[in-house]
Structure 1
Amino acid sequence: MKKRSFGRTGQQVGEVGFGAWAIGGSWGNVSEHDAEAALHAALDAGVTFIDTADVYGGGRSERLIARVLKQRHQDDVIVATKAGRQLNPHVAGAYTADALTRFVEGSLERLQTDALDLVQLHCPPTDVYYRPEVFEALDRLVQAGKIRHYGVSVEKVEEAIKALEYPIASVQIIYNLFRQRPAELFFRLAQERQVAVIARVPLASGLLTGKLSDSSQFAADDHRAFNRHGEAFDVGETFSGVPFEVGLKAVEELRSVAGTLPMAQFALRWILMSEAVTVVIPGARNPDQAVSNARAAELPALTADQMDAARSIYDRLIRPHVHQRW
């Protein structure tokens, strides 16, 4: 798999990674067997970057990753985790040095490692980005040898731009065919500062796989059922904040743009057309999905006509619903 530089860390990562939310929870039932098989398939396909969080399945995702990496005796994989969403209430003032240290030590135990490769603040309240002491606490965790690098996972472009004022290694942000705003300004600023960009929710919660329809049903514990209107967390995390019916209509138009390419691979290759993107992190619930995602890195560049058509569909159908909101 082709690799890209991970900001100014000096590390290289495969441009298609593995998002481990689905194997943790909130996506319906995924057995441990299927979860481990998906991870093995992704790693066999050349994936070298795995993104998880301490709250995915209450730590289940981190434990599964540790188990698979131990089985493989593989040490060339960067495991990025996230911290902060355990806070209750989830408010800016709760992001203290003690809390962050506690979260990091929990992830160290679950991931069975002496130092975390990358810790990201997990979509904190906007006010956190105006609290330098939070980032100073992360600096101290680096100095203590508990984490190697730190970054942020954001909801809004404005938060991503503000975060660039701190010595972060990376920004994780929603970027896909239905969320194109990060490319307008933020990507250029991130490149100038040599900050890695992790593109999350790349398939818009499955909408951009082309496999969903107006009759699709989701399990009660799947966020696509319980968070359609932001009942549990930011609505932008579910279907990228696009109304489901609008997304389905846009996908039907995108099919002709993708041509013979599977929709999911087309959507991932579209993201990789941006040089500012370091790694894209689609999730996978089984080996077939993991392998198909990884193969997007092997596709030739999309044509100018395809890029223009995708932009036109976004501008006409999607932009009014999402562009200025995030």
Structure 2
Amino acid sequence: MNYRKLGNTDINISEISLGTWQVGGGWGGNFDERAAAKILHEAIDGGVNFIDTADVYDDGKSEAAVGRLLKERSEQIFVASKCGRQISPHVSEGYTPEVLRKYVEASLKNIGIESLDLIQLHCPPTAVYKQDEIFELFDRLKEEGKIKHLGVSVEKVEEAQLAIKYPNVKTVQIIFNMFRQKPAATFFEEAKGKDVGIIVRVPLASGLLSGKMSREREFDTNDHRYFNREGKAFDKGETFSGVDFEKGLDAVEALKDIFGEDEPLAAWALRWILMFDEVSTVIPGASRPSQVKANLLSSALPALTHEQLEAVRAVYAQYIKADVHHLW
């Protein structure tokens, strides 16, 4: 495993880490504590030292599973959680220092720790990024020892740019992959200039970039890849990165022609992200230990050639860019 500095913090984290949206349940499944434990331990066994969770993942069960992991391992493990998505309706008026403080304190209790290495605002409405009192809260929480660092998880590049105007924002979590290339074009340089860490989520476009899906694939009705393709439940950019499923499959076939069949397309998709030095870590999810192991292998792949990088840009330009680039 290779490690990278998390922005201007004093933390060095695994360049492939673990996101826990579907840990122990998979999309649409019931939470399985044993399955979650196996996935989490597989990640640590592979050199992962950074786990990203959230209070809304499986109604706190994901956070609790991370807490059990911390008690069972001796390695130093950095934990990031997120807050704000419990606010209902999820509107900017619901974001107050008092509400967010309660969420952070509940996460600490749920995980069983005294201080979070990183707390992130969980994709708040754009207007929240203009509320100074929200960001000032986290300075107080840091003074109290309840958090070490503040970050944001965003839907749009515009929100990332607004967030890093606050000096206490140390990280930005953003969707970035072969099908969502706008951050590299319009945000990475700015983040680098302020030494802000970039955490990449949805790196495989909800599994599209695994290269294993087909037009015959059926999804559980509780799976967001079934019910959220048009953004009926939350931002549609979280589902297949906002890419039309059929068009995405065509683009995947073009990517397979670039990389061949010796290694899974998923591994190359993760390795492509790691070609960007501004990225601190990538947090693919996993619903079984074998997926964790496969994801970690991507770090050992050779660097993409100039020709491969240009070919990926061409696929994006041909199949994807017109539909997604302007939206996020």
Q: TM-score range by the shorter chain?
A: over 0.9
SS in 1 for 2:149: strand
**Could you tell me how far 1:114 is from its partner in structure 2?**
0.4
- Contact 2:152–2:171 (8 Å) recurs in 1: yes
| Amino acid corresponding to residue 92 of structure 2 in structure 1 | A
Q: Which residue pairs with 1:102 in the alignment?
A: 102
Q: 1: CA distance between counterparts of 2:72 and 2:255?
A: 40
- Contact 2:198–2:279 (8 Å) recurs in 1: yes
Do structure 1's residue 269 and structure 2's residue 271 form an aligned pair? yes
Q: 2: CA distance between counterparts of 1:57 and 1:207?
A: 23
Q: Which residue pairs with 1:295 in the alignment?
A: 297
Q: Any residues of structure 2 matched to 1:25-36 within 5 Å, and which?
A: 27-29=27-29, 31-36=32-37
Q: Which residue pairs with 1:88 in the alignment?
A: 88
Q: Which residue pairs with 1:10 in the alignment?
A: 10
After superposing on structure 2, the runs of 4+ consecutive aligned residues of structure 1 that deviate more than 6 Å are none
- Contact 1:26–1:221 (8 Å) recurs in 2: no
**Could you tell me how far 1:211 is from its partner in structure 2?**
1.1
- Contact 1:16–1:280 (8 Å) recurs in 2: yes
Instruction: Tell me the TM-score normalized by structure 2.
Output: 0.97
Q: Which residue pairs with 1:212 in the alignment?
A: 213
Per-residue displacement from partner, 1:86-111 (whole Å, max 9, x unpaired)?
Answer: 00111112111111110001100111
Residues 1:233 and 1:25: Cα distance change in structure 2 (over 3 Å)? farther
**Could you tell me how far 1:69 is from its partner in structure 2?**
2.1
Q: 2: CA distance between counterparts of 1:262 and 1:121?
A: 33
Q: 2: CA distance between counterparts of 1:17 and 1:49?
A: 6
Q: 1: CA distance between counterparts of 2:13 and 2:268?
A: 21
- Contact 1:24–1:56 (8 Å) recurs in 2: no
Q: 1: CA distance between counterparts of 2:122 and 2:81?
A: 9
Per-residue displacement from partner, 1:190-241 (whole Å, max 9, x unpaired)?
Answer: 1110110001000000000011111111112211111111110000000000
**Could you tell me how far 1:24 is from its partner in structure 2?**
5.9
Q: Which residue pairs with 1:203 in the alignment?
A: 204
Q: Which residue pairs with 1:124 in the alignment?
A: 124
Aligned length: 325
Q: Which residue pairs with 2:140 in the alignment?
A: 140
Q: Which residue pairs with 1:278 in the alignment?
A: 280
**Could you tell me how far 1:270 is from its partner in structure 2?**
0.3
Q: 2: CA distance between counterparts of 1:36 and 1:163?
A: 34
**Could you tell me how far 1:156 is from its partner in structure 2?**
0.3
- Contact 1:197–1:278 (8 Å) recurs in 2: yes
Do structure 1's residue 72 and structure 2's residue 70 form an aligned pair? no
Structure 2 gaps of 5+ residues are: none
Per-residue displacement from partner, 1:126-177 (whole Å, max 9, x unpaired)?
Answer: 0001111110011111111111101100000011011110021100000000
Q: Which residue pairs with 1:45 in the alignment?
A: 46
| Amino acid corresponding to residue 44 of structure 2 in structure 1 | L
Q: 2: CA distance between counterparts of 1:79 and 1:295?
A: 22
- Contact 1:119–1:147 (8 Å) recurs in 2: yes
| Amino acid corresponding to residue 129 of structure 1 in structure 2 | Y
Q: 1: CA distance between counterparts of 2:183 and 2:314?
A: 17
Q: Which residue pairs with 2:175 in the alignment?
A: 174
Q: 2: CA distance between counterparts of 1:51 and 1:257?
A: 31
Q: Which residue pairs with 1:194 in the alignment?
A: 195
Q: Which residue pairs with 1:252 in the alignment?
A: 253
Instruction: Tell me the TM-score normalized by structure 1.
Output: 0.98
Structure 1 window deviating more from structure 2 (76-85 vs 256-265): it is 256-265
- Over the residues paired in the alignment, what is the CA RMSD in angstroms? 1.1
**Could you tell me how far 1:26 is from its partner in structure 2?**
6.7
The alignment-based identity, stated in percent, is: 52
**Could you tell me how far 1:46 is from its partner in structure 2?**
0.6
Structure 1 gaps of 5+ residues are: none
